Amino acid sequence: MKVFGLFAALSMLVIGSVNQVSAQETRVRWFGHAAFSVTTPRGKVLLIDPWLSNPSNPEAKDGKDPLVSVPKVDYILLTHGHRDHVGDAVEIAKKTGAVLVCNPELAGNLVKLAGFPAEQAATDVIMGIGGEIQIADGEVTIAMTPAVHSSSVYNPKAGPTNAERAYGGNPAGFVIIIKGGPVIYHSGDTAYFKDMETVGEQYQVDLALLNIGGHFGMEPRMAARAAQSVRARLAVPQHYATFPGIAQNSNDFAAELKRLKIPFYEMKPGETVTFRGRQMTQK
């Protein structure tokens, strides 16, 4: 009995310390293209631009259902309405009950045209550029930042009198501030604009997830300039090598960042990186 008691006490100690370690960790996973998940120290899961069925995602290859890889999602953040960003948001929301964080026009049209569950898209976390909201019981603050792009929503009910693209509000980026974790900037599909410097002035960006593919958004050289403008402590490329017409590798981005002396890390689709506090500890 005594031995068992000691064993139980030791187990509790070990489990307790494991919890303590994981409790300080934030995990960021890339699914290819612009799709990332962020798991907070307290275990909340945010999914950004969840086109999980994109051709780069290893979870979508060989006939696999990529939604299996995200069994728990608390919030879906959408930078804008294009299909390569809305992606599988409707199916994921139905499956997980995740709440939508995006602009009101995009939310309204996703409900009306695409069948996004209304009760998960009409909450107090629908927001506008310039605003900051708190989610996850105050563990996460989301700031919506400007993006120079467009934001139509694909209309599956398009026909002779219904346009193929409906209004999707303004395109945006996000700054995600995690208590006890990193500050993450997701650029959406923006072009470079000089006021990105304001993001760098207002927030201490530990991790900048920057679209580098060009053609529809920043070319690699300007994406590196964006990393400099937002004062990124670490720049990670996204929105490239997914389909023809956008950059197929991050070489030019990496070279320009090297010249600007900004730390660079290239994630592989499917890869998770871990932050302890604000520092990336594990690749």
Least distance from C-beta 189 to Zn ion, angstroms? 4
Is 84 a binder of Zn ion (CB under 5 A)? Answer: yes
Write phi, then psi, for 18 (nearest 5 degrees): -65, -45
Least distance from C-beta 153 to Zn ion, angstroms? 13
Element at 282 (helix H, strand E): strand 279-282
Question: Near Zn ion by CB under 5 A, which window of 113-121, 149-157, 181-189, 219-227?
Answer: 181-189
Least distance from C-beta 213 to Zn ion, angstroms? 8
The residue (of 200 and 214) whose beta carbon lies closer to Zn ion is 214
Q: Write the single-letter amino acid at 82.
A: H
Question: Near Zn ion by CB under 5 A, which window of 12-20, 93-101, 107-115, 187-195?
Answer: 187-195
Give the Cβ contact number of residue 170 at 10 Å. 17
Is 105 a binder of Zn ion (CB under 5 A)? Answer: no
The torsion defined by the Cα of 186, 190, 196 and 202, in degrees rounded to 10, comes to -30
Is 189 a binder of Zn ion (CB under 5 A)? Answer: yes
Least distance from C-beta 193 to Zn ion, angstroms? 17
113 within 8 A of 79, measured Cβ to Cβ: no
Q: What is the C-alpha separation between 4 and 203, in angstroms, rounded? A: 51
Q: What is the C-alpha separation between 61 and 76, in angstroms, rounded? A: 23
The residue (of 192 and 275) whose beta carbon lies closer to Zn ion is 192
Residue 238 exposure: Cα atoms within 13 Å on the Cβ side: 32
Is 49 a binder of Zn ion (CB under 5 A)? Answer: no
The residue (of 66 and 182) whose beta carbon lies closer to Zn ion is 66
Binding site for Zn ion (CB under 5 A): 84, 189
